Amino acid sequence: MARGMLIDVTKCVGCGACVEACQQANGQPPHEARHFDQDTFTYLLDRGNDVYVRRLCMHCLNPACASACPIGALRKTAEGPVTYDPQRCMGCRYCMTACPFGVPTYEWFSPAPRVRKCEMCARRPQGPACAEACPTGATQAGFRDQLVAEAQRRIQEDPKTYYPYIYGLREAGGTSVLYIGPAEPEALGLPTHVGFEPLPQLTWRALKHVPDVVVFGGVLLSGFWWLTKRKEEVARHEGAHKSKEVNHDR
């Protein structure tokens, strides 16, 4: 069963414990998070009247970012998170353009830039740090099917508190991060333009009408990336070999 997270906006008090825990878990400097950037994987939207909405990667069931990546640097895991491999990334940034939620960012000023985004603490044995740190249970981690059932239960049992909608259940074909709250998604500041169809299906439908030279551009880019990496490996090998020769002569 795939894992996910349920964010209950009605329980969030805006304390920022989730943001601080995320920064610590990912080795980021402490800072005030206001939007996605190379050091911010999650932040809080203040919607007024003590309503706070946390934004993070939605970990789509059929992620457009992974579909757009020509060399598989981003992939949807069976466990649920969408993960990123910087060793495979060639910096094309197609993922940033493809994401309907505007999540991935780029290390523009780094000598070895990476795409940056939440990975749902996929490599952390305890699970998502944000959920563990939340003092009110506003963020709950678990299996997606069980989280959907829990969201439905809360809405049915307390219709005066909850707007009858689970955001992420169908958006972009469904996501691993789900929201429930006191108002409709648009009022909560959640993207409402993404539609319900998995975006990779729309991408491939459009590519059928694109000339072959453009379609095969990804293959060419992959080749350039491989050649660059190969040259770097050869240079490192030759450098190490010359170093050994110098030490031997001494």
Q: What is the pLDDT of residues 156-171, one digit of tens each?
A: 999 999 999 999 999 9
Task: Show which of 188, 204, 220 is a domain's final residue.
Answer: 204
**For 55-104, what is each residue's pLDDT tens digit?**
999 999 999 999 999 999 999 999 999 999 999 999 999 999 999 999 99
Q: For residues 122 and 41, state if they share a domain.
A: yes
Q: For residues 96 and 77, state if they share a domain.
A: yes
Report the C-alpha gap between 125 and 130 in whole angstroms: 13
| Res. 237: pLDDT tops 70 | no
**Average pLDDT value for residue range 128-146:** 98
Q: How confident is the model at residue 44 (pLDDT cuts 50, 70, 90)?
A: very high
Give the H or E element holding residue 178: strand 177-180
Q: How confident is the model at residue 243 (pLDDT cuts 50, 70, 90)?
A: low
**For 182-224, what is each residue's pLDDT tens digit?**
999 999 999 999 999 887 765 554 444 445 544 455 555 555 5
Supply the CATH number for residue 123's domain: 3.30.70.20
Q: For residues 190 and 216, state if they share a domain.
A: no
Is the pTM above the cut of 0.85? no
Higher pLDDT, 232 or 131: 131
Report the C-alpha gap between 222 and 216 in whole angstroms: 10
Higher pLDDT, 238 or 188: 188
Higher pLDDT, 112 or 243: 112
Q: For residues 138 and 61, state if they share a domain.
A: yes
Q: How confident is the model at residue 249 (pLDDT cuts 50, 70, 90)?
A: low
Total domains present in the chain: 2
What residues contact residue 64 under an 8 Å CB cut-off, 6+ apart?
98, 99, 100, 172, 199, 200, 203
Over the range 156-194, which residues count as b (16 or more CB within 10 Å of their CB) and which as e?
A: eeeeeebbeebbbbebbbbbbbbbbbbbebeebebeeeb
In 52-126, which ranges are E strands? 52-55, 74-76, 82-84, 105-106, 115-116
pLDDT at 238: 57
State percent of the chain over pLDDT 70. Answer: 80
Q: For residues 181 and 57, state if they share a domain.
A: yes
Q: For residues 193 and 125, state if they share a domain.
A: yes
Higher pLDDT, 242 or 129: 129
- Name the residue among 174, 99, 219, 23 with its Cα closest to residue 84: 99
Question: Structural domain of residue 166, as residue ranges?
Answer: 3-204
